[in-house]
């Protein structure tokens, strides 16, 4: 199917899209739904169709779990040495890196992500895969225990087939964060991408096949959340499940896994705070926070969406933010001059606009008005950055909007700022901004969340655990040695002497 993207697509991307309807990949084979059912994925920057993709039934998703279980038992993947598996996974990382311009363009087109950011996501996948692959070769999986009167040890082995369900905001990067530790540990996987952004997952499964990863180790099932997603999370053959997405769907996935006693990792939404003290460089802090809220059009789970600013710099801070927000150049994601692309679909745009309306109706002041953005010649899902201000009982200050909308409130004391930051059901990520590093550490540790950042927002160095608490998630998070251990089951062995 032809695309209406304004930029010229790479021939490899054109060729991939021309295969529409694109199939799922199960046991190394391209699989279409027996029903022939397909869905359309659209370019968020134009609203035009990019490609059709297959919509699997529940029974077809179950076949993918069976394929992953077979590969776990029979392909040799689970029993090969970490070094041998490492050769395969580094070869896959090499293939992804080599195809970065292609995957980046596919991702940009499908998710509405600025091209440079999409390329960064692809590199992030490569780095994550290499990080876990190398770690799996070096950590001790067998530990002798000093126990009186006994010979005892523990050993860690892979679990088996693992399920993964992903959202549309970082489709490729999140697959990397999710499956890399599972694969490095010797598990097999079934990946369900979001229905808005299935393309990079399909491309990945094909690359894995070309790179010689045994068939059935990486399966990709496409379709709806209520169909393919629900079938995957209810499959009793899975040994682990990982879900990244909204708390509402996370609850459903957790319930389904609970019925089968399948351990589940939930990475959910957020309503992060940035606490800004009066000893900061006001202009530089405004620059960074406006950069964070407009990055990927605010569709970032760990964004700072509540900006809590010391009252003595509040007015100056607003002025600095307003100037910067008004300069953001909204445009098509593949257009090199755009600094902020569209949101992912019409529903998401309506959601963002409705929160602006509801927020103002409940008494918030629109410091920067936001609203729909017009991009000449492109009928995509564009919105402008917005800044609301008011009290924190406002709906726009309490609920996750998932767009380029920040909410401002002022504070007088450190204790008040911490209490305001913690007045939320979520617990994903907050930041504190101050030149007093003692205060920074104190406040960072007092904010109840999986992550606190100091004088920065959205930091993900490999090796630093990332995850949410409370309504933002459960199950240990991602990106550290603990995540690798999550994908090994631990077994104790003991003999009386």
- The residues annotated as belonging to the active site are 267, 301
**Site for ligand NAD (CB under 6 A): which residue of 165, 185, 328, 334?**
165
Q: How far apart are the C-alpha atoms of 240 and 257, rounded to whole Å?
A: 9
Residues paired with residue 188 on neighbouring β-strands, in sequence order: 161
For 248, list phi and psi in degrees, rounded to 5: -65, -50
Q: From residue 253 to residue 282, what is the string marking binding to ligand NAD with x (rule CB under 6 A)?
A: x-------------xxxx------------
Q: How far apart are the C-alpha atoms of 396 and 260, rounded to whole Å?
A: 37
- Which residue has 């169709």 as its token pair? 49
Report the residue number whose CB is nearest to ligand NAD. Answer: 225
297-326 binders of ligand NAD (CB under 6 A): 301
233/338 with CB nearer ligand NAD: 233
244/483 with CB nearer ligand NAD: 244
Residues 317 and 286 sit within 8 Å (Cβ to Cβ): yes
Taking the complex as a whole, how short is the minimal distance between the CB of residue 58 and ligand NAD, in angstroms? Answer: 11
Q: How far apart are the C-alpha atoms of 300 and 294, rounded to whole Å?
A: 9
165/293 with CB nearer ligand NAD: 165
- Which residue has 């996935």 as its token pair? 253
28-57 binders of ligand NAD (CB under 6 A): none
**Site for ligand NAD (CB under 6 A): which residue of 65, 102, 217, 230?**
230
For strands 49-54 and 142-147, give the pairing. Answer: unpaired
Taking the complex as a whole, how short is the minimal distance between the CB of residue 267 and ligand NAD, in angstroms? Answer: 4
**Site for ligand NAD (CB under 6 A): which residue of 194, 274, 280, 292?**
194
Taking the complex as a whole, how short is the minimal distance between the CB of residue 233 and ligand NAD, in angstroms? Answer: 5
317/402 with CB nearer ligand NAD: 402
| 331 Cβ contact partners less than 8 Å away, ≥ 6 residues apart | 337, 338, 339, 340, 341, 375, 378
C-alpha 190 chain-centroid distance: 17
Q: From residue 402 to residue 421, what is the string marking binding to ligand NAD with x (rule CB under 6 A)?
A: x-------------------
Q: How far apart are the C-alpha atoms of 427 and 450, rounded to whole Å?
A: 6
Taking the complex as a whole, how short is the minimal distance between the CB of residue 304 and ligand NAD, in angstroms? Answer: 13
**Site for ligand NAD (CB under 6 A): which residue of 188, 244, 424, 480?**
244
Eight-state DSSP code of residue 279: T
Handedness of CA 8, 174, 193, 398 (dihedral sign): negative
**Whole-number CA gyration radius for the chain:** 23
463-482 binders of ligand NAD (CB under 6 A): 468, 473
Q: From residue 421 to residue 450, what is the string marking binding to ligand NAD with x (rule CB under 6 A)?
A: -------x----------------------
Distances in whole angstroms, Cα of residue 319 to Cα of each of 63, 292, 325, 402, 431: 57, 17, 10, 24, 21
Taking the complex as a whole, how short is the minimal distance between the CB of residue 410 and ligand NAD, in angstroms? Answer: 26
- Which residue has 């523990």 as its token pair? 154
Taking the complex as a whole, how short is the minimal distance between the CB of residue 402 and ligand NAD, in angstroms? Answer: 6
Window contacting ligand NAD (CB under 6 A); options: 141-149, 189-197, 326-334, 379-387: 189-197
Tell me the CB-side half-sphere exposure of residue 216, using CA atoms within 13 A.
20
Q: Three-state DSSP class for 76?
A: coil
64/194 with CB nearer ligand NAD: 194
Provide the binding-site residues for ligand NAD, judged by CB under 6 A: 165-170, 192, 194-195, 225-226, 229-230, 233, 244-246, 249, 252-253, 267-270, 301, 400, 402, 428, 468, 473
């Amino acid at each position: 199917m032809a695309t209406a993207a304004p930029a010229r697509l790479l021939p490899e991307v054109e060729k991939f899209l021309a295969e529409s309807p694109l199939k799922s990949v199960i046991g190394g084979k391209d699989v279409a739904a027996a029903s022939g059912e397909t869905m359309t994925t659209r370019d968020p920057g134009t609203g035009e169709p990019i490609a059709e993709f297959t919509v699997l039934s529940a029974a077809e998703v179950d076949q993918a779990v069976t394929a992953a279980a077979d590969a776990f038992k029979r392909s040799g993947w689970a029993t090969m040495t970490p070094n041998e598996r490492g050769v395969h996974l580094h070869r896959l990382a090499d293939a992804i890196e080599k195809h970065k311009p292609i995957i980046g363009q596919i991702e940009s087109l499908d998710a509405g992500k600025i091209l440079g950011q999409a390329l960064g996501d692809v590199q992030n996948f490569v780095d994550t895969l290499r990080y876990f692959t190398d770690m799996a070769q070096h950590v001790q999986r067998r530990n002798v225990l000093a126990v009186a009167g006994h010979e005892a040890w523990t050993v860690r082995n892979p679990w088996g087939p693992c399920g993964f369900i992903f959202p549309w905001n970082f489709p490729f990067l999140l697959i990397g964060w999710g499956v890399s530790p599972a694969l490095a540990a010797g598990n097999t996987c079934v990946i369900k991408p979001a229905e808005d952004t299935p393309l990079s997952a399909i491309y990945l499964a094909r690359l894995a096949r070309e790179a010689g990863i045994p068939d059935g180790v990486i399966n990709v099932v496409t379709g709806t959340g209520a169909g393919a997603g629900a079938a995957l999370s209810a499959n009793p053959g899975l040994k682990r499940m990982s879900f990244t997405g909204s708390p509402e769907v996370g609850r459903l996935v957790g319930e389904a896994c609970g019925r089968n006693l399948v351990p589940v990792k939930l990475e959910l939404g957020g309503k992060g705070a940035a606490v800004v003290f009066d000893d900061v460089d006001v202009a530089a802090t405004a620059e960074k926070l406006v950069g964070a809220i407009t990055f990927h059009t605010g569709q970032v789970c760990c964004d700072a969406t509540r900006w809590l600013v010391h009252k003595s710099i509040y007015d100056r801070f607003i002025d600095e933010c307003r100037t910067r927000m008004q300069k953001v150049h909204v445009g098509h994601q593949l257009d090199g001059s755009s600094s902020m692309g569209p949101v992912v679909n019409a529903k998401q745009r309506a959601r963002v606009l409705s929160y602006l309306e509801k927020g103002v109706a409940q008494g918030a002041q629109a410091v920067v008005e936001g609203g729909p953005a017009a991009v000449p010649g492109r009928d995509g899902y564009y919105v402008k950055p917005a800044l609301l201000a008011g009290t924190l009982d406002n709906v726009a200050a309490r609920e996750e909007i998932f767009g380029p909308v920040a909410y401002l409130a002022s504070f007088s004391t450190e204790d008040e700022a911490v209490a305001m930051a913690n007045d939320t059901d979520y617990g994903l990520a907050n930041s504190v901004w101050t030149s007093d590093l003692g205060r920074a550490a104190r406040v960072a540790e007092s904010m109840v969340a999986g992550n606190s950042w100091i004088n920065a927002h959205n930091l993900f160095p490999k090796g630093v655990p990332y995850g949410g608490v409370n309504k933002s998630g459960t199950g240990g998070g991602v990106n550290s040695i603990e995540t690798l251990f999550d994908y090994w089951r631990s077994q104790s062995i003991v003999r009386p002497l």
